[in-house]
Amino acid sequence: MQLSNTYIKIIFGLKLKQLRILNKLSISQLAKKSGISISYLNEIENGKKYPKHDKIAVLATTLNTSYDNLVSLKLTKKLKPIADLLESNILELLPLDHYGIDLNKLVVLLSNASLPLSALVSTLVELAKNSEMSEQNFSRTALRTYKEFNENYFEELENNSDKFISEYINNYSIPLESKVLENILISNYNYIIDNDTLNAYPELSEIRSIIVPGKKNKLLLNKNLSEPQKTFALGKELGYNYLEIKDRNLAYSQMKVDSFDQLLNNFKTSYFSSALMMDRNTFFDDLKKFFIQTKWDSKSLQSIFDKYNVSPEMAFQRISALASKFFNLNSMFYLRFNTTNDNQEYSLIKELRLNLTENPGGYATDEHYCRRWISLDMLKQAKIFGDKNDYKKLFIESQISEFMVSKNKYFCISVGSSNAPLRKTYSSVTLGFLINENFKNHILFWNDPSINTKEVNDTCERCSIFNCEERAANPTRADEHSKNKNIRKTILEIIKKVNKEKK
C-alpha cells in the first residue's frame, strides 16, 4: 500500500529517534555532531518535517547507518505494530483532528508504549483486517460518533443554509423545486447540468450523480431520480460550493470514500441540502403540531412529507436534528434497512444512536436482526406492493418496542418504500425515541391504545423470547450464555458444599 507523505514523515521520525537512542545520543548531542539544529531535529522526530537529501546523508553517517536504511519504510520489530497501524489506513478513517487529537503526537506516544500495549495495537489491526471492522465500517462508525457527540444538530450548517436562502433564493417557498437550485448552479457557479450521459452506462444505474470537474463543472444526474432526490442532489452540490468544501467523493452513491473527511463532508452537504428543503423555522412549527396530537395519525406524517416534497428518510433525518435541539428529545435512534426482491436478507445501511444503552440496530455480524421490530414489517409491506409495481406507495406505522431484558421502551415510527431510481430494491427508515418523562411531555400520542406493543431484542441468536413466531435463527448465543451461567452456578454450589463439609 502507498503511504501518504504524512505517514512517510512519521516513519522517518520514528526511525531517526530509535537510531539516536541506540547510539546513546541525546537530541542536543545529535545536533552538535550533525550540525542540524535541535528545533529542526525535534520537528523531524515528531513527524512534522522530512529533511532534504544532504541532511539525510549527514544523519546517516552520524548514526552509523546507511542512507538507504534510514529512508527505508521498514521499521524494527518493536515498531512494527505502528507500521501496521499506518498501513491499515485506520487512522486516516478516524476523525482525530476533529477531536483535537494530533496524529503525529498519537503515533509518537504509541511508539513509546510498553510491549503489552504494542501487542494490543497489533491485535486491533488484525481485527480490522480480518473481521467486519473494515475501513468503511471504521469511518462510518466514526461519523456516527461525531454526530452523537454534537447531538446531531449543527448550528453553523443551519446558519449557512439560512444565509444561502437569503442571498440566492428570492421568494423562497415550500416545497423547494429542483429547477430553482439548478438555475443557481448554472448562473452563479458556472455549472453544466447533464441528465442523459449517466444513464447511457448500465453499470452506473445505481449512482444518483457524478461531478466531472473542469473549467465548467459538469453534474451528471440520473434521469430516474424523483423530484425530491433531484432537489436533494442539487442542494448537496450547492453545499460543496457554498461551504467551499474541496475534499469530496465525485460520485453520489454508497461507494467507498477515501477518508473520514470525505465522509464527513458528504454528511455536511447532505445536512445543508436538507436544511434548504426544510428550513428549521417552518419545519419546527409543523413538527410541533404533529407532536401535540393526542392520537397517532400516519396521515399527518404523510402530509409533512407531501408539504415539503421530501422522502421519509430526508424528513426523519431532519426530525432527528430538530427534535434533539428544540424538544430535548436526545435519547433516540435512526435506522435505515435495505433489501431486494432476490433475497430475504436485510442490510443496515445507516444508523444513529443518541444517549442509548441498548443497540436497536443490532450488531454488524452474521447474526439475524430481531424480526419483531417494525422496521422489517414495513420492509416486507414495501416488497409486497413493489412486486405489484406500486412503487410510489408509502407504508407508515408506529410501534412501542420493549427490550426483553432492560424493559426500556421505544416509540418507533417506520416507513417502508421502494428505492427510486433502483427498481426491485426497498428500504425502511425508522425513528425511535426512548419513552421517558421528557418524551411523554412533548409527544402526546405516545399512549394511544391503537399502538401495538412488542417485546424485542437485538438479534435472534442472543434472544431467549419463548415461542417467537418471527424467529429467523436459533438462540445459540443465548443458550450458550445460559449454559455457562448454570455451570458457574453449579461450581460455586459444589465449592460451598465442600467447604461446609470440611467444617
What are the residue ranges spanned by the domains of the chain? Answer: 5-131, 151-277, 280-472
Given a cut of 60, whether residue 387 has pLDDT beyond it is no
pLDDT given at position 61: 92
> CB of 194 within 8 A of CB of 219?
yes
Query: How much is the average pLDDT of 12-18?
Result: 85
pLDDT given at position 346: 81
Strands 218-221, 192-194: parallel, antiparallel or unpaired by DSSP? parallel
As a whole number of angstroms, the distance between CA 458 and CA 361 comes to: 7
Q: Which of 68-82, 187-201, 204-218 has the lowest mean pLDDT?
A: 68-82
Percent of the chain residues past pLDDT 90, beyond the cut: 47
Q: What is the CATH number of domain 151-277?
A: 1.10.10
**Mean pLDDT, the chain, whole residue set:** 84
Which amino acid is it at 439? F
As a whole number of angstroms, the distance between CA 86 and CA 128 comes to: 12
CA 478 to chain centre: 29
> CB of 315 within 8 A of CB of 274?
no
Q: Phi/psi of residue 220, each to 5°?
A: -90, 120
Q: For residue range 294-312, list pLDDT tens digits in order.
A: 999 999 999 999 999 999 9
| String of DSSP letters for 318-363 | HHHHHHHHHS---SEEEEEEEEETT-S--EEEEEEEES-SS-TT--
Higher-pLDDT residue of 389, 133: 389
Domain 5-131: give its CATH superfamily: lambda repressor-like DNA-binding domains (1.10.260.40)
As a whole number of angstroms, the distance between CA 17 and CA 31 comes to: 12
pLDDT given at position 133: 45
Residue (of 462, 483, 481, 484) closest to 472 by Cα position: 462
pLDDT given at position 11: 82
Residue (of 17, 159, 126) closest to 79 by Cα position: 17
**Upper half-sphere CA count for residue 385 (Cβ side, 13 Å):** 17
pTM of the model: 0.75
Q: pLDDT band at 501, cuts 50/70/90?
A: confident
> CB of 473 within 8 A of CB of 458?
no
Given a cut of 80, whether residue 140 has pLDDT beyond it is no
